[in-house]
């Protein structure tokens, strides 16, 4: 009987403590792809805690990132979580408090993606947050959950030069204009397009040139989708010598943290499909 009475007291105490805390979670529906970027702007995530009675002093924030079906794919390690206090009647916590990336544990392909790119795979997730007591991890607030979506980006499509296009040497010698479509959907930051041009040497395949040769051009183009290259590499007499030289060009897309923008592929490196072009004699 005494054990039952004690259990009732503990349960009532828990309900009483729970009622003393009021919380609210605000999260952008379309936050940056990199979780490390969430702490850069306050409007992305804020967790408001109001201590109505003043009885709660120290606590921990428990955070879980789940799929829409409730499967937990990441959570903070409460054993190593920072002990927090309100220091008053209320306090607003940021992303660095709620999901400190140095204390978050992820599993499976989600860990692989974060380790490689700093981002989760594109998709829809939910963030669930509540306050717990240190030591026992007993919940002392309601769980607040918010849905968020990480967009799958479409990498640029090269427009010019076209694939297999042959450029006249006298024109290519002075200027080659590269054009491409923008990353889609357009991010809320200027995209850096790293334009790369490689020469394909004799008996070499284009992909071999892309992976092993030093680039003739390695140029970061920020926020625009065109670049005019003035090579001046001695191509003017190629047509007269009845010769043709092969080149391959591509783009690597980088975000505002200089990290590759991925297109939903966990192993993506932000590099668009390479395009081959020629300078010299027209092919028959």
The pLDDT tens digits of the residues spanning 50-80 come to 987 666 778 999 999 999 999 999 999 999 9
Rounded alpha-carbon distances, angstroms, from residue 173 to 209, 245, 251: 21, 12, 21
272, 162 contact by CB (below 8 A): no
Q: Give the closest residue to 37 by CA, choosing from 95, 76, 107, 117.
A: 95
Distance of CA 117 to the CA centre of its chain: 7
For residue 76, give the CATH number of its domain: 2.60.40.2550
Query: Does 90 share its domain with 162?
Result: no
Query: Does 144 share its domain with 210?
Result: no
Strand (E) or helix (H) holding 175: none
Distance of CA 120 to the CA centre of its chain: 7
For residue 229, give the CATH number of its domain: 2.60.40.10
| Span 29-41, average pLDDT | 84
**Amino acid 154: pLDDT:** 87
Report yes or no on 237 lying in a domain. Answer: yes
Query: Does 184 share its domain with 269?
Result: yes
Number of DSSP helices (H) and strands (E) in the chain, helices first: 5, 17
Q: Give the closest residue to 66 by CA, choosing from 147, 136, 12.
A: 147
Domain span including residue 117: 16-150
Query: Does 117 share its domain with 209?
Result: no
Encode 67-102: b = buried (16+ Cβ within 10 Å), e = exposed: eeeeeebbbbeeeebeebebeeeeeebbbebbbbbe
Helix residue ranges per DSSP H, the chain: 2-20, 95-98, 108-117, 169-174, 206-212
**Total number of domains in the chain:** 2
| Span 82-107, average pLDDT | 90
The answer, yes or no, to whether residue 10 has pLDDT greater than 50, is no
pLDDT-based confidence at 268, cuts 50/70/90? low
pTM for the model stands at: 0.64
Rounded alpha-carbon distances, angstroms, from residue 216 to 38, 164, 231, 235: 37, 19, 9, 13
Query: Does 205 share its domain with 119?
Result: no
**Amino acid 228: pLDDT:** 96
pLDDT-based confidence at 11, cuts 50/70/90? very low
User: Would you state the structure tokens that stand for residue 63, as one six-digit string?
Assistant: 């955070």
pLDDT-based confidence at 282, cuts 50/70/90? confident
**136 vs 123: CA distance, rounded Å:** 34
67, 37 contact by CB (below 8 A): no
Looking at per-residue confidence, does 175 or 185 come out higher?
175
- Residue % of the chain over a pLDDT of 70: 87
Q: Which of 127, 150, 173 is the last residue of a domain?
A: 150
Query: Does 146 share its domain with 164?
Result: no
pLDDT digits (tens, 9 = 90+) for 166-181: 998 888 888 999 999 9
Q: Report CA torsion sign: 108, 111, 115, 121.
A: positive
CB atoms within 10 A of CB 154: 15
pLDDT digits (tens, 9 = 90+) for 202-243: 889 988 998 899 999 999 999 999 999 998 777 766 666 678
32, 45 contact by CB (below 8 A): no
**Amino acid 133: pLDDT:** 92
pLDDT-based confidence at 264, cuts 50/70/90? low
Query: Does 141 share its domain with 172?
Result: no
């Amino acid at each position: 009987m005494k054990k039952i009475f004690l259990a009732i007291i503990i349960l009532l105490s828990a309900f009483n403590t729970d009622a003393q805390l009021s919380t609210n979670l605000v999260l952008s529906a379309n936050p940056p792809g990199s979780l490390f970027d969430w702490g850069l702007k306050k409007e992305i995530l804020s967790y408001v805690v109001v201590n109505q009675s003043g009885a709660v002093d120290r606590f921990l924030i428990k955070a879980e990132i789940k799929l829409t079906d409730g499967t937990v794919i990441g959570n903070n390690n409460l054993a190593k979580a920072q002990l927090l206090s309100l220091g008053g009647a209320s306090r607003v916590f940021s992303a660095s408090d709620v999901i400190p990336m140095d204390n978050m544990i992820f599993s499976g392909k989600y860990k692989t993606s974060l380790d490689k790119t700093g981002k989760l795979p594109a998709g829809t997730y939910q963030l669930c947050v509540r306050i717990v007591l240190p030591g026992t991890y007993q919940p002392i607030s309601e769980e607040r959950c918010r849905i968020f979506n990480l967009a799958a980006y479409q990498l640029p499509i090269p427009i010019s030069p076209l694939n297999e296009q042959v450029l006249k040497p006298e024109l290519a010698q002075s200027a080659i204009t590269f054009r491409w479509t923008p990353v889609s959907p357009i991010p809320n930051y200027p995209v850096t397009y790293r334009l790369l041009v490689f020469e394909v040497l004799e008996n070499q395949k284009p992909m071999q040139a892309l992976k092993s040769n030093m680039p003739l051009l390695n140029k970061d183009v920020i926020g625009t989708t065109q670049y005019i290259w003035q090579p001046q590499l001695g191509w003017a007499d190629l047509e007269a010598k009845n010769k043709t030289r092969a080149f391959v060009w591509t783009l690597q897309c980088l975000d505002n943290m200089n990290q590759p923008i991925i297109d939903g592929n966990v192993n993506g490196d932000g590099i668009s499909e390479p395009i081959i072009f020629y300078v010299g004699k027209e092919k028959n």
